[in-house]
Amino acid sequence: MRTLYTIIALLFSTLPALTQDAQFSQFYSAPLYLGPSMAGSANEGRLVMNYRDQWPRLSGRFVTYAVSFDQYVKQYNSGIGLSFLHDNAGNSKLTSTKAGVSYSYRIKGGRNLFIQPGLEAYYFQRKINFENLTFADQFYGDQLLPTSIQSPPEMNRGQMNFATSVLVFTENMWMGAGISHLMQLNSVLAEDPGYMPLKINGFGGIRFRIPGQYRNRDDQSVSLAWQFRHQASVSQLDLGAYYFKEPFRIGLWYRGLPSTGGPWNRDAIAVSAGISFDQFYLSYSYDMTISSMLQTTGGAHEIAVHYRFGELVSSIRGVGQVPCPRF
């Protein structure tokens, strides 16, 4: 038992250095997860659901579920949002759950320029289920015997934490930055293995409208978008573009940071496609792993669903809307 609890203590002490937050290839399609300043960015009620199945060919696959709702409140120049995320790593051996509340405030910085800072308070929990683990004493030839180690059924750590971000946007450009797990800035709590390592991210994009004829002149566009994130000792960059022609959207993305020499310097290429009708938006993306370390992972499948409660943009003059993808 002493050996078992020593292993448990070491596991929790190294998790902050090795564990990263869940990621989405369609980062622009998980607005509140991107940063709390995205709350209310659609100028209407918005329900978002995300699903990601990463490395399905491995026995310890990673599955992430997320759902969020946000609303812009015109009379207070504010956005509010609720979000929930559950990440399942290694067939329920390690799970992470996050539930938070976001608030943003919109400031008009010019005729077509808007600044939107945001703050999120959330509860984060990680749990290890020992019933799903296999110990060395169970292996006997080709047989798998019951373990002689008496282990607890599960162990979890949870705490309150905060995130903040700021968003700057115009009619055809958006750019922002955020910091998550702010409790790590406290010198005392930074030594607590229950707290996730600080995450810093930057994101943005620009839209180029394709001139058309008559009333269809705004129905086509090409947009570039990017996200950079750094957590613990890992840095990654998502960079890509998508083409939009109502009601279809297609995109191509690259994830990695070639300038570094780490194992994640070339991660994946992702292709995406989406369709919209009325207030409903659906998109799918597939990650093709290109890292030399992970050739048999099966990539990653990701689905995002948006539903918007009413087209309020046309009735809100001078408010602005973030020109990031609508799905």
The DSSP line for 167-209 is EEE-SSEEEEEEEE-GGGGSTTGGG-TTSPPPEEEEEEEEEEE
Residue 50 has pLDDT above 70, yes or no: yes
Residue 127 has a pLDDT of 84
Asked if residue 46 is part of any domain, the answer here is yes
Alpha-carbon gap, residue 233 to 116, rounded angstroms: 29
Residue 97 has pLDDT above 80, yes or no: yes
Q: Which domain holds residue 244?
A: 2-315
User: What CATH number is associated with residue 197?
Assistant: 2.40.160.40
User: In this structure, are residues 165 and 151 in contact, taking their beta carbons and an 8 Å threshold?
Assistant: no
Over residues 31-53, the mean pLDDT reads 95
Residue 314 has pLDDT above 50, yes or no: no
Residue 287 has a pLDDT of 93
pLDDT (tens digit, 9 = 90+) per residue, 4-16? 444 444 444 444 4
Q: Identify which of 126, 84, 125 has the alpha carbon closest to the alpha carbon of residue 102.
A: 84
User: In this structure, are residues 69 and 80 in contact, taking their beta carbons and an 8 Å threshold?
Assistant: no
Count of structural domains within the chain? 1
Select the more confidently predicted residue: 117 or 212: 117
Asked if residue 320 is part of any domain, the answer here is no
Average pLDDT of the chain is: 82
- Residue 325's pLDDT band (boundaries 50, 70, 90)? low
Q: Which long-range contacts (CB under 8 A, 24 or more apart) does 296-300 make?
A: 296/57, 296/58, 297/54, 297/55, 297/56, 297/57, 297/58, 298/55, 298/56, 298/57, 298/58, 299/55, 299/56, 299/268, 300/25, 300/52, 300/53, 300/54, 300/55, 300/56, 300/268, 300/270
pLDDT (tens digit, 9 = 90+) per residue, 261-292? 555 466 789 999 999 988 899 999 999 988 66
Asked if residue 325 is part of any domain, the answer here is no
Asked if residue 322 is part of any domain, the answer here is no
Asked if residue 324 is part of any domain, the answer here is no
Select the more confidently predicted residue: 326 or 33: 33
Residue 319 has pLDDT above 50, yes or no: yes
Over residues 31-58, the mean pLDDT reads 92
- Residue 149's pLDDT band (boundaries 50, 70, 90)? low
- pTM assigned to the model: 0.82
Asked if residue 158 is part of any domain, the answer here is yes
Residue 313 has a pLDDT of 42
| List of residues 6+ apart from 88 with CB closer than 8 A | 62, 63, 64, 95
Residue 12 has a pLDDT of 46
- Residue 202's pLDDT band (boundaries 50, 70, 90)? very high
Over residues 43-67, the mean pLDDT reads 89
Asked if residue 323 is part of any domain, the answer here is no
pLDDT (tens digit, 9 = 90+) per residue, 155-177? 778 899 999 999 999 989 999 99
